[in-house]
């Protein structure tokens, strides 16, 4: 899958291997919603209004919630990159 977007004014969206594998294994409808939400964040992270917040005690790591699924992302504004580190169900994401 390895998505990478870089349109002027947008963050580049990259997925780790683990995130790619999780998207393939998860239900198709949820995977499409997750990717759509991540694209929205990459397009405009400062105005995104979904369930997106920084994790306490972790610098530059943010959590996106889509239903019972979570994506952990590293937001690096210096390089304009939104790296999706991990995608998993709620019970497994923080282990």
Could you tell me the two tokens for 19? 């995130």
Read off the pLDDT of residues 69-82 as tens digits, 9 standing for 90 and up.
Answer: 999 998 776 666 78
Closest Cα partner for 60 from 69, 48, 50, 73?
A: 73
* The pLDDT value given to residue 9: 60
Right CATH number for 12-89 from 3.40.640.10, 3.30.2310.20, 3.40.50.150, 3.30.390.30? 3.30.2310.20
d(CA 36, CA 72): 15
Query: What residue segments make up the domains of the chain, in order of their start?
Result: 12-89
Residues 6 or more apart in contact with residue 47 via CB below 8 angstroms: none
Please give the biggest Cα pair distance in the chain: 36
What does the pLDDT look like over 38-93, one tens digit per residue? 999 988 887 889 999 999 988 889 999 999 999 999 877 666 678 888 888 877 77
Half-sphere exposure of 11 (CA within 13 A, CB side): 26
């Amino acid at each position: 899958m390895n998505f990478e977007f870089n349109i002027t004014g947008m963050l580049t969206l990259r997925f780790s291997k683990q995130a790619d594998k999780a998207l393939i294994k998860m239900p198709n409808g949820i995977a499409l919603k997750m990717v759509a939400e991540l694209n929205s964040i990459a397009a405009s992270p400062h105005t995104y209004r979904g369930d997106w917040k920084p994790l306490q005690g972790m610098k530059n790591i943010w959590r996106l919630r889509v239903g019972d699924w979570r994506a952990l992302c590293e937001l690096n504004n210096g390089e304009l990159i939104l790296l999706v580190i991990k995608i998993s169900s709620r019970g497994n994401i923080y282990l």
